[in-house]
């Protein structure tokens, strides 16, 4: 009788929970398969869009973990286990972790945006967060940069993305802006002709857009002209340095003066004849 009673209870238990357990197993197996498929899909899409490999791996793992959390909760709920308290605990733990790591999470979110939208790439020369340098690597939390004098700088992504970013390498062409001063006694037509000739002799200066030479202002000690040629971005500084040297040498040959700041001082005899006053 005792055995028959136990068998009846086992049969009743299997009838009551057997289908729930099978359903829970089915939810877990199918859910895990779906989570893996979605993870592979996200990684494939990000790899196709040339997203950083570190971010691809991290986002894939986080996506899989989040989906599996929902799958496990759904499976436990199917068995009959109350998951309300479990969800509350997970939510509270997530909130506590988020508050403790809010700075790191801000850097992470900024790193994701930088990698997705690509305002700059490795090898670009940029200015942002109060510094300028060549981007060496964009990581999840920080961006590694190298200054022109070969100093390594690690910038938090949140600070970099929260400021204006100037990317000097984004465009294939750049314009040089030089200001050249000449004396008031010099012939402006000759000066402009000499400058245009210098620009025309340099093959690195682009024909289109055309270079511009014009009078900028009448300064206190000189007539200031602006020289604005267009060059390829990679030639910018080489042309900048060479052009200034060529202008100085050619002006010396042509007898064109580059005046230094000067001021006229008038001396007046005081009425009492005590001394001289500078005005």
Q: What confidence tier does 270 reach under pLDDT thresholds 50, 70, 90? A: low
Of residues 4 and 235, more confidence is placed in 235
Q: What confidence tier does 79 reach under pLDDT thresholds 50, 70, 90? A: confident
- Structural element, H or E, at residue 173: strand 173-175
Contact 214, 226 (CB under 8 A): yes
Tokens coding 246: 């060529």
- Is a pLDDT exceeding 80 seen at residue 88? no
Q: What is the DSSP letter of 259?
A: P
Measured at the CA of 153, the angle between CA 148 and CA 158, to 5 degrees, comes to 125
C-alpha separations of 131 from 19, 108, 147, 166 in Å: 64, 21, 8, 10
Helix, strand, coil percent values for the chain (each to nearest 5):
55, 20, 25
Of residues 129 and 19, more confidence is placed in 129
The domain segmentation of the chain, as residue ranges, is 2-100, 120-167, 173-254
Measured at the CA of 204, the angle between CA 237 and CA 199, to 5 degrees, comes to 95
Contact 234, 242 (CB under 8 A): no
Q: Rounded to a whole number, what is the distance in angstroms from the first to the last CA of the chain?
A: 127
- Is a pLDDT exceeding 50 seen at residue 103? yes
- Taking alpha carbons only, the member of 118, 127, 123 closest to residue 167 is 127
CB half-sphere exposure, 65, CA atoms < 13 A = 7
Q: What is the pLDDT of residue 277?
A: 47
- Is a pLDDT exceeding 90 seen at residue 134? yes
Topology of domain 2-100 in CATH is Helix Hairpins (1.10.287)
- Is a pLDDT exceeding 60 seen at residue 101? no
- Taking alpha carbons only, the member of 205, 279, 216 closest to residue 242 is 205
**3-class secondary-structure state, position 188:** helix
No. of H helices and E strands in the chain? 7, 12
Q: What is the pLDDT of residue 207?
A: 92
Q: Which CATH number applies to 120-167: 2.30.30.60, 3.10.20.30, 2.30.29.30, 3.30.950.10?
A: 2.30.30.60
- Structural element, H or E, at residue 3: helix 2-48
Topology of domain 173-254 in CATH is Alpha-Beta Plaits (3.30.70)
Of residues 274 and 172, more confidence is placed in 172
């Amino acid at each position: 009788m005792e055995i028959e009673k136990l068998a009846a209870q086992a049969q009743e238990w299997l009838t009551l929970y057997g289908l729930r357990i099978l359903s829970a197993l089915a939810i877990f197996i199918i859910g895990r398969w779906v989570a893996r498929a979605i993870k592979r899909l996200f990684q494939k899409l990000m790899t196709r869009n040339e997203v950083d490999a570190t971010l691809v791996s991290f986002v894939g793992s986080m996506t899989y973990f989040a989906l599996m959390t929902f799958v496990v909760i759904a499976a436990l709920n199917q068995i009959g286990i109350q998951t309300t308290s479990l969800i509350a605990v997970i939510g509270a733990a997530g909130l506590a972790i988020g508050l403790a790591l809010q700075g790191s999470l801000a850097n992470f979110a900024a790193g994701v945006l930088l990698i997705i939208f690509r305002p700059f790439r490795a090898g670009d020369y940029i200015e942002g967060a109060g510094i300028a340098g060549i981007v060496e690597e964009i990581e999840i939390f920080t961006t590694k940069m190298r200054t022109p004098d070969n100093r390594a700088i690690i910038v938090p992504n949140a600070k970099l993305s929260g400021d204006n970013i100037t990317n000097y390498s984004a465009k294939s062409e750049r314009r040089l802006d030089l200001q050249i001063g000449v004396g008031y006694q010099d012939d402006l037509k000759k000066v402009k002709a000499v400058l245009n000739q210098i620009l025309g002799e340099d093959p690195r200066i682009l024909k289109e857009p055309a270079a511009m030479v014009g009078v900028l202002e009448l300064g206190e000690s000189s007539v200031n002209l602006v020289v604005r040629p267009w060059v390829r971005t990679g030639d910018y500084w080489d042309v900048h340095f060479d052009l200034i040297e060529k202008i100085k040498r050619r002006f010396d040959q042509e007898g064109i003066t580059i005046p230094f700041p000067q001021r006229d001082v008038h001396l007046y005899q005081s009425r009492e004849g005590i001394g001289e006053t500078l005005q």
